[in-house]
């Protein structure tokens, strides 16, 4: 199960790592499109777009259907729930680390202000 989840996360993040593939997902979120239409919109070759769509398909993010000579793309059923949970775990860890850093910095600033105030008071007495 863990190995399957890691493979799925790897495929999803690899698919999402490319700006064109993210753009394709955004486009398909608005309307289904043929590979030809997508290639035209992103100003790339049909072969290049087929490769992008294939990566998205392997990750389960896009589904294609061939009717005659036209291959239509639409969003897949995957909702990226595992990926969202993975990101959320790390976001929480970073939030905790930044909160701790804020606490340490605030303590150091407070200590420095106390030292400065004490030093200023000492200098006034001289």
Tell me the per-residue pLDDT of 72-85, one tens digit each, with 9 for 90 and over: 999 998 888 888 99
pTM, whole model, 2 decimals? 0.72
Report the alpha-carbon distance of residue 61 to residue 84 in Å, rounded.
14
CA terminus-to-terminus distance, the chain:
73
pLDDT in tens, 35-60: 999 999 999 999 999 999 999 999 99
- Residues 1-19 pLDDT 10s: 556 678 889 999 999 999 9
Q: What percent of the chain has pLDDT over 70?
A: 96
Tell me the angle at which helices 2-16 and 81-125 cross, rounded to the nearest 10 degrees. 80
């Amino acid at each position: 199960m863990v190995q399957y989840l890691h493979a799925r996360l790897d495929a999803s993040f690899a698919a999402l790592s490319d700006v064109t593939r993210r753009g394709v997902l955004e486009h398909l979120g608005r309307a289904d499109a043929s590979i030809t239409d997508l290639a035209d919109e992103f100003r790339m070759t049909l072969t290049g777009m087929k490769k992008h769509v294939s990566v998205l398909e392997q990750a389960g993010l896009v589904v294609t259907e061939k009717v005659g000579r036209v291959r239509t793309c639409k969003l897949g059923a995957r909702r990226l729930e595992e990926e969202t949970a993975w990101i959320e775990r790390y976001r929480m860890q970073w939030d905790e680390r930044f909160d701790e850093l804020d606490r340490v910095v605030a303590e150091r600033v407070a200590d420095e202000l106390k030292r400065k105030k004490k030093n200023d008071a000492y200098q006034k007495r001289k």
